[in-house]
Chain A
Amino acid sequence: MSIANTLNLYWKYIGISIRAQMQYKVSFIMAAIGHFLITAVEFLAIWAMFDRFGSIDAWTLAEVALFYGMVHIAFSISEGAARGFDLFPSMVKSGDFDRFLLRPRSTAFQVASMEFQLLRIGRLLQAVIILGWAVTTLDISWTLPRVLLTIGAIGGGACIFSGFFVIQATLAFWTVESLEIMNTITYGGVEAASYPLAIYRDWFRRFFTFVVPLACVNYFPALAILGKPDPMGLPTVLGWLSPLLGVAFLWVTLQIWKVGVRHYTSTGS
């Protein structure tokens, strides 16, 4: 099974999913616009706050926009691409997961490519605009390493959020209830990472650095891009390595997924 062949299959799956969503064009466009507006209002609230107080802990609005744009682009990518894991619990309940086990492909691949939620393009678009504004407003020279770091941080972030979805789906092998806690971490993580981590309390920062390495794919890279030292005193080099931590996190969650599949195939339910 070559990589080219797998990618080809992935695009076919995505194409099917997109075509299915396009069958109801108007409803799709409305939903995408709605998504755009909801997330835009979110940023409007941030702007209003800065307009009132000028800055938070010496962070300017443009700087916060950099955090916000990066994390929201990452999140919308993973929301679109890993949506299958979101739908997965109902699949386990109905027994449809057996079908995936009968096909000569990894189960994680099949679940991931099951559906691509295109309407997340609303969030993506809004986040791109905000990131674009931040990039042009901030006084930063956009060298190649900086550009690469930004892309890497977004990729790493998408990996982390996808990892959240994988964990959430994996829990469905054991329980059909109590998945709400995962939403708290996922959506709470997005909210928290929209601001520089330095403004939060210690335990909260540590949680998002060491337990869930969200800070590593957002906060530290952003610091490195801004050329700011970490107010918490962690070395800047962390910023350059951290996108890899996102990939590592996703890898770990996929191993846990395999444990879940093994549990499923030994209980048959």
Chain B
Amino acid sequence: MPQVTVENLRKTFKIAERDPGMWGAVKGLAVRRYRTVHALDGIDFTLEPGELVGYIGPNGAGKSTTVKVLAGILVPTSGKVDILGRVPWKDRIEHVRGIGVVFGQRTQLWWDLPVIESFDLLKDIYNVPSDAHRATRDRLIDLLSLKEFLDTPVRQLSLGQRMRCDLAASLLHSPAMLFLDEPTIGLDAISKLAVRDFIKEMNRRNGVTVILTTHDMDDIEALCDRIMVIGSGKILSDGTLEDLRAKVKRERRLVVHLAHDGMDIEDPDAEVVKREGNQVQLRFDPEVISAPNLISRIASKYPVRDLFVENPPIEEVIAKLYREME
């Protein structure tokens, strides 16, 4: 049985338009013109328990709208959502009890309170029994290394520290599902790694289902078994990383380490994309020329020290997909 079922989900926003200037403001009081925006234009998907899904798309594609609907804070225009047997916006209180939500841009904690007091308050808000709370809390503190700043007010934390605290806060009531909206935004490399490791741990060990929206393709590559791409309110692609790569025109990269610096490679079937010292990166279509053929051709013409074939970086795959959509 899927944990989450979304069927033909639509959300239309009416945005009031008004003419610029004083006169426009006055006119706006009497006559309102609206522009309709289809933020979600028929979304379908299901999630099984324990999945870790990346939900990606360009800005304004409908990512946050989807997360808000799933979290129960936005009512869709039409369509069906079933999460753990409930309709999020109809049964808000029971629904939010079973999920955890983190918005990277905004903390869920109390700005002026020490972290540990925020955790205590959440215990009472979710009405978690004391023993269970202590056990979960201590484990999260340990996993996310929060100990040293537990007594610091949230407003004094660095962004990385705050995000780790927010992650802990979202899991104190042991939800079965976690919605993460850009959890690594603005974090330094070390914090990003810590956050990623933690998400993976929660998913693999505790079986928490995770939906992750992000712009960081490293997040996707490090974490997600499944990737959904949304654009203009529609799901464009839903599958594994490999499926996604196959969606756009097949393309491979050949990285060649030459014996000397400053040499150039020219080949009729491959295009140079990057040149750095003695390293040259070529792009080729395996249907035009197979990798062994290209390698032997280049190896015979140039003094090659080393070479290897790789897939194009996922950023470029996504960028390509977005371009094809338009």
Contact = CB atoms under 8 A, between A and B. Distances in A.
Contact of A98 (B73, B125, B127): B73
B74 A265 contact: yes
Nearest to B102: A102
A98 B65 CA distance: 13
B112 interface: yes
Residue picked from A5, A13, A106, A268, most chain B C-beta under 10 Å:
A268
Contacts of A13: 121
Nearest to A268: B74
A12 to B, nearest CB: 6
A20 to B, nearest CB: 6
Assign chain A's interface to a size class: 20 to 34
Contacts of B75: 262, 265-266
B121 A101 contact: no
Given A20-B112, A268-B68, A102 B13 contact: no
Contacts of B65: 268
Interface in B90-127: 92-94, 96-97, 101, 103, 106, 108, 110, 112-113, 117, 120-121, 124-127
Contact of B125 (A95, A104, A266): A104
A105 B122 CA distance: 11
Contacts of B106: 95-96, 98-99
Given A9-B124, A20-B112, A265-B75, A102 B101 contact: yes
B69 to A, nearest CB: 9
A72 B254 CA distance: 81
Nearest to B124: A9
A8 interface: yes
Contacts of B74: 265-266, 268
Contact of A104 (B93, B117, B121): B93
A223 B220 CA distance: 72
A96 B120 CA distance: 21
B124 A16 contact: no
Nearest to A100: B73
A5 B124 contact: yes
B127 A267 contact: no
A108 to B, nearest CB: 12
Contact of B93 (A98, A105, A262, A265): A105
Contact of B126 (A101, A104, A268): A104
Interface residues of B, number: 28
Given A265-B89, A268-B13, A102 B125 contact: no
A103 interface: yes
B73 A102 contact: yes
A9 B74 CA distance: 26
B68 A104 contact: no
Interface string B1-34: 0000000000001000000000000000000000
A104 B94 contact: yes
A1 interface: yes
Contacts of A104: 93-94, 96-97, 125-126
A13 B124 CA distance: 10
Residue picked from A8, A98, A102, most chain B C-beta under 10 Å:
A102
B179 to A, nearest CB: 9
Interface in B121-153: 121, 124-127
A9 B122 CA distance: 10
A104 B92 CA distance: 7
B227 to A, nearest CB: 25
B211 interface: no
B95 to A, nearest CB: 8
Given A12-B121, A99-B108, A5 B127 contact: yes
Contact of B110 (A16, A95, A105, A267): A16
A83 to B, nearest CB: 16
Contacts of A1: 127
Given A5-B124, A9-B124, A102 B71 contact: yes
B96 A102 contact: yes
Contacts of B93: 104-106
B72 interface: yes
Contacts of A103: 96, 125-126
Contact of A16 (B121, B125, B127): B121
Interface in A91-131: 95-96, 98-99, 101-106
Contacts of B127: 1, 5
Interface string A1-35: 10001001100110010001000000000000000
A41 to B, nearest CB: 34
Contacts of A8: 124
Given A105-B125, A106-B93, 4 more contacts: A103-B96, A104-B96, A268-B13, A268-B73
Interface of B: 13, 65, 68, 71-75, 89, 92-94, 96-97, 101, 103, 106, 108, 110, 112-113, 117, 120-121, 124-127
26 contacts: A1-B127, A5-B124, A9-B124, A12-B120, A12-B121, A13-B121, A16-B110, A20-B112, A95-B106, A98-B73, A98-B106, A99-B106, A99-B108, A101-B72, A102-B71, A102-B73, A103-B96, A103-B125, A104-B93, A104-B94, A104-B96, A104-B125, A105-B125, A266-B74, A267-B13, A268-B73
Ranked 8 nearest A-B pairs via Cβ: A101-B73, A104-B97, A266-B75, A9-B124, A104-B93, A265-B75, A268-B74, A104-B96
